[in-house]
A and B are shown apart, each in its own frame.
Chain A
């Protein structure tokens, strides 16, 4: 399946991926309104490891055998059998944070805006084109199928 891979040679740690991730998961899909108007503010579903020189953006790996899905007490966390994308069903999530604890990458964030929901990268499932990849200014994020994962 196609996944997002970070190229640490080119990541600048600028944070634009976070800005666009939030916008992608906002109600209005407008950058300014998403950040200044919307309440609750949308959360980004990736974090950036930064160093003096090397940086990279890390998001959900959509594992073959997702620990978060195993650990989910309500069955909200699911891996789509066809696309392989792991998503969290907001209505069913009770905010127990088991998935947060269990993810080996720390890729799940706590969205405590209104209801407590575990938020994670969904490869921008609505558009099919991950916004972080689209807007990375330096080709540091690549969306392709490298043959790992179903």
Chain B
């Protein structure tokens, strides 16, 4: 047996003056970090197992615990960080692909934080959302190139299927299997209460969830898990998942440990088997194949529901999106490299894909240059963290945004990035019954509703501050944004001016 070179990521600090030895931390840590030592009568911690999920910190009734990053120091080296060194040790031990959960944590620029928003001063008035109507509802779906009216003003054009949302925010695809049934229940209830949609992800749909159908997007991913005609007709919208921002070019991976009875039934796969989605859809090898699948799904649902296509943001997203629009998709969702995942190879998550801000700007611009932007809806995803990211995304050209990580955080996630272990202490990214019950859907749904409601009010205030009372007037309105700390090329890709101009 060789020496274990992998040191603990985190240190557990316990204030002995505050600890009352209630053992709540020990009972609540699925990683078995804490225990009561019989001899000393004190709590002790095995920090090698700690993942910094903060469950013990939050549960401790006297706030006696703090988790700190282990600041084990190396000789200063601008090229080799401690993380890189440790990752090599892990691979030298296991020979395996490094795994991670959640989205790209690396310090690439966050363009949301380098754009600022306009407000009206003197030359046109700001609008007070407490006293005037402020409209944040959006309609997603394919639009005809124009409308026709008869001479009495009656509408002659037949509209393709449209989805109305009360807020420009939907819950992103997170599969049943990667997250728990209780988490799905909470998302579905919150979506219903908020007048928006949640997305099944690639895990199929349990029968008990069909009742939330009018607020459900059913996803068809490369593994086709759980896809059958009733499933397709159960939702309000369908989504073909070509890619995901966290792992562009790869398929999904759900470890067999997370495939219990319920997941097995929903996905239509044997219990305990790894659920490996193929990298491409094996019936989509070119754009015309996508057109065929889009229309197959429309046929299967009698052309009653819009079909969305979700792609990861990659280098030629603009051209891809143009192709998707012409292939018959009604909605295009672009997932940037900050998008989350239950499990992805670390190297892919951290190095593949581009920021959604840039992808969104270039896709919106390209579709306008081709004269087709008005015919499809665009949804931005991948690292939408707050209401202002939503405002900026819409100003860049999105119709609406998906939130994934933010929704999980609202439910209690602390971004410890170990979802793939299935030992989520918050009951979110787990299939273990004892852990899943930690997420009470009554509480979680309310937290989601609260968060989105808070965001909506912030959006109201910001729109009013800009002198806008209907969110469609913000869509693509790039002059409402200015860049700060951006170079010429970044400004050009985003299509915005510098602050002061």
What A residues does B17 contact at CB under 8 A? Answer: 32
| Most central of A14, A15, A36 by chain B CB within 10 Å | A14
A52 within 8 Å of B (CB atoms):
yes
What A residues does B24 contact at CB under 8 A? Answer: 14-16, 19
A67 within 8 Å of B (CB atoms):
no
| Chain A residues touching B, majority SS | loop
* Complex alpha-carbon distance, A137 and B59, angstroms: 8
Residues facing B in A25-70 (CB within 8 A) are: 31-32, 35-36, 52-53
Cβ contact of B443, chosen from A11, A35, A53, A138, cutoff 8 A: A138
What A residues does B18 contact at CB under 8 A? Answer: 32
A120 within 8 Å of B (CB atoms):
no
* Complex alpha-carbon distance, A14 and B61, angstroms: 11
Closest residue of chain B to A13 (Cβ to Cβ) is B27
* Complex alpha-carbon distance, A139 and B439, angstroms: 10
Q: Mark B201-231, 1 if CB is under 8 A from A, else 0.
A: 0000000000000000000000000000000
* Complex alpha-carbon distance, A19 and B19, angstroms: 12
Interface segment, one of B189-197, B237-245, B325-333, B430-438: B430-438
| Most central of B21, B27, B433, B442 by chain A CB within 10 Å | B27
Residues facing B in A111-150 (CB within 8 A) are: 135, 137-140
B22 within 8 Å of A (CB atoms):
yes
Sorting the interface of chain A by its residue count into under 10, 10 to 19, 20 to 34 or 35 or more gives: 20 to 34
B61 and A53 within 8 A (CB): no
B443 and A12 within 8 A (CB): no
What B residues does A140 contact at CB under 8 A? Answer: 440
A35 to chain B, nearest CB (A): 4
B440 and A35 within 8 A (CB): no
What B residues does A36 contact at CB under 8 A? Answer: 20
B74 to chain A, nearest CB (A): 39
* Complex alpha-carbon distance, A53 and B432, angstroms: 9
A97 within 8 Å of B (CB atoms):
no
* Complex alpha-carbon distance, A39 and B27, angstroms: 26
Residues facing A in B395-446 (CB within 8 A) are: 433-434, 437-438, 440, 442-443
| Most central of A20, A135, A138 by chain B CB within 10 Å | A138
Closest residue of chain B to A34 (Cβ to Cβ) is B20
Q: Mark A74-103, 1 if CB is under 8 A from B, else 0.
A: 000000000000000000000000000000
* Complex alpha-carbon distance, A139 and B437, angstroms: 11
* Complex alpha-carbon distance, A15 and B56, angstroms: 13
A10 within 8 Å of B (CB atoms):
yes
Chain B interface residue count, CB cutoff 8 Å, equals: 19
B22 and A18 within 8 A (CB): yes
Cβ contact of A52, chosen from B21, B434, B442, cutoff 8 A: B434
B62 within 8 Å of A (CB atoms):
yes
B23 within 8 Å of A (CB atoms):
yes
Known interface pairs A15-B23, A16-B24, A19-B22. Does A139 touch B442 (Cβ–Cβ under 8 Å)?
yes
B346 within 8 Å of A (CB atoms):
no
* Complex alpha-carbon distance, A148 and B440, angstroms: 26
Cβ contact of A35, chosen from B20, B27, B434, B437, cutoff 8 A: B20
What A residues does B23 contact at CB under 8 A? Answer: 15
A13 to chain B, nearest CB (A): 6
Cβ contact of A12, chosen from B21, B22, B438, cutoff 8 A: B438
* Complex alpha-carbon distance, A38 and B119, angstroms: 59
* Complex alpha-carbon distance, A18 and B21, angstroms: 12
* Complex alpha-carbon distance, A36 and B42, angstroms: 12
* Complex alpha-carbon distance, A16 and B24, angstroms: 7
Closest residue of chain B to A51 (Cβ to Cβ) is B434
A138 and B62 within 8 A (CB): no
A139 and B27 within 8 A (CB): no
Closest residue of chain B to A11 (Cβ to Cβ) is B437
A16 and B59 within 8 A (CB): yes
What B residues does A53 contact at CB under 8 A? Answer: 433-434, 437
* Complex alpha-carbon distance, A137 and B24, angstroms: 12
B433 and A35 within 8 A (CB): no
A10 and B437 within 8 A (CB): yes
11 A–B pairs (Cβ distance < 8 Å), ordered by A: A15-B22, A15-B23, A16-B61, A18-B22, A19-B20, A19-B61, A32-B17, A32-B20, A36-B20, A139-B442, A139-B443
Known: A36-B20, A53-B437. 11 other contacts (CB 8 A): A14-B59, A16-B24, A16-B59, A31-B62, A32-B17, A32-B18, A135-B61, A138-B437, A138-B438, A138-B440, A138-B443
Query: Contact residues of B with A, CB < 8 Å?
Result: 17-18, 20-24, 27-28, 59, 61-62, 433-434, 437-438, 440, 442-443
